[in-house]
Structure 1
């Protein structure tokens, strides 16, 4: 089960990607980042990421925390740098 969430409404609280993040999570992720562009994204607990979720990260360029838990992403894709 995938979870894309913020643990707290305080500005700057990380958005967490947990478990398998399917295409449906891309819209949720984009909304959370746009609500608080200063919030970093913690993707360490993400075990599988749809390319649409990665594309949101590429487009919106939040600060990324840690190494992605998806083996493919961790090995082959560079974390997007903040823009």
Structure 2
């Protein structure tokens, strides 16, 4: 898995695959204040991006990919 679930946020790191999408969605729904850290994220599968866009967690660190950062900022 490319996601570490911590107390205050989920840290998405490296390449986050489609296999991570459902678990991420469930974790975000269970949080009172959902947040994600994307500072070390290299790539997300489209399903993971859909989860992020649908559930709109707070982004505590933007991804290094300018396109992904822009998409998430525009949706927030």
Tell me the TM-score range normalised by the shorter chain.
0.7 to 0.9
Q: Does 2:32 match 1:56? A: no
Bigger share in strand? 2
**Whole-angstrom distance in 2 between the partners of 1:72 and 1:49:** 12
Give how far 1:37 is off.
4.0
Residue 61 and residue 41 in structure 1: after superposition, are their counterparts in 2 closer, same or farther (change >3 A)?
Answer: same
- 2:71 paired residue number: 77
**Whole-angstrom distance in 2 between the partners of 1:3 and 1:17:** 6
Bigger share in helix? 2
**Whole-angstrom distance in 2 between the partners of 1:78 and 1:36:** 19
Give how far 1:65 is off.
1.6
Instruction: Tell me the TM-score normalised to structure 2 length.
Output: 0.81
Q: What RMSD, in angstroms, separates the aligned Cα atoms of the two structures?
A: 1.8
**Whole-angstrom distance in 1 between the partners of 2:20 and 2:65:** 15
Residues 21 and 47, structure 2, Cα contact 8 Å, conserved in 1: yes
Residues 37 and 62, structure 1, Cα contact 8 Å, conserved in 2: no
